Structure 1
Amino acid sequence: MALHKLLVDDFYDASYSLLAVHCRLEDYRLAYLLNKYLNLNLKRQPQDLDYKYFAASYPIYEWFDEELFTTWNMVSNVCKREEDSLQSSGSLFLANEKVLKTYHLLPELKNVDFLIKITNDDRYLDEKRMVDKIQNIPQVITTYAIDVDQLRSRDNLIF
């Protein structure tokens, strides 16, 4: 009996652009500045992205441009949570120590603070122009495009 393998990676087509943003702003503040400088209308979604069995949640903002049929998503790449320490203190009394753990939506991009995903199926998007506009925001340190095909954890960007 012959076995037939179907490789799912053969059908994967990244039909979106991904921009990395380095800045130390809160997510709502960056969304406001992107709305102001790029004439967007990003709004926070009622549900955050939850990964790793609700261990990490990432705020996500979305806007659909009906004129250009483009979906804009801005998501935080960093989630910091305070958790109980699992180390034994070696004493008879319990010491409830808290540890601040950091999770990343894309672990291979640990230095990136925010990700902007631009889904545009039909038209060409000028990434360089978008990067230049975001770079003009004074609070943004740097912005650059990411090659989606090189990401190992690109499945985390399916939302």
Structure 2
Amino acid sequence: MGTYKLILDDDFNDDFSLIAIHCSEEPFRIAYLLNQFAALRLHRRRVDLDFSKDGLDITFPLFDFEDEMKYTYYNLVANRCKSQVAKIASSGGLFGNMTHDETVTNYVIPEYKQVDYLLKIQSDFETVGLRSIVAKINDIKQVISAYELDAEKLKSKNNLIFD
């Protein structure tokens, strides 16, 4: 009997640009600042980006904007989510089990744990003007830094599928 080999190709060939943003502001605040300074109109989706990992449901706030005139779609997502997990420790004693809370941090892109927000830009055209967008984001007083990431080198780029 012959052996069969299945080859699973990477199905995620959608071209996009990715900007990393370092900022300690809340997600709604950074979306407001990007709307004000980078001429975007980001609004929060009704449904956040949800993951399930180790029995824990993780949600990341997600904002989007579709520029119909330039055929460009923008997504802003928080890279970090902190969750409280109740841990039960058996004391083996007279008074039963002890519980304590532990904070667990999860990331959309674990390779870049220091990044606070990710701005994903999809366009039907080759050039979007990333340098001007990055320059406008860096002009915001609350933003520490912003720079472009190479999306092709990401190991967990499947986490950036928002549909």
TM-score with structure 2 setting the length: 0.88
> Which one has a larger percent strand, Structure 1 or Structure 2?
2
* 1:100 Cα offset (Å): 1.0
- Residues 21, 44 of structure 1: CA spacing in aligned structure 2 closer, same or farther, 3 A cutoff? same
Partner of 2:139: 136
Partner of 1:148: 151
Is 2:89–2:98's contact at 8 Å kept on the other side of the alignment?
no
Is 1:14–1:149's contact at 8 Å kept on the other side of the alignment?
no
* 1:129 Cα offset (Å): 1.3
Asked if 1:39 is matched to 2:39, the reply is yes
Partner of 1:104: 107
Partners in 1 of 2:76 and 2:109 — Cα distance? 14
Residue segments in structure 2 that go unaligned for 5+ positions in a row: none
RMSD: 1.8
* 1:84 Cα offset (Å): 0.3
Identity %: 36
Matched position secondary structure for 1:134 = helix
- Aligned residue pairs total 158
Partner of 2:21: 21
Amino acid at match of 2:77: V
Is 1:15–1:121's contact at 8 Å kept on the other side of the alignment?
no
Partners in 1 of 2:12 and 2:31 — Cα distance? 29
Matched position secondary structure for 1:25 = coil
Matched position secondary structure for 1:71 = strand
Amino acid at match of 2:108: L
TM-score with structure 1 setting the length: 0.91
* 1:8 Cα offset (Å): 1.3
Q: How does 1:48-127 map to 2 (within 5 A)?
A: 48-53=48-53, 55-91=57-93, 92-127=95-130
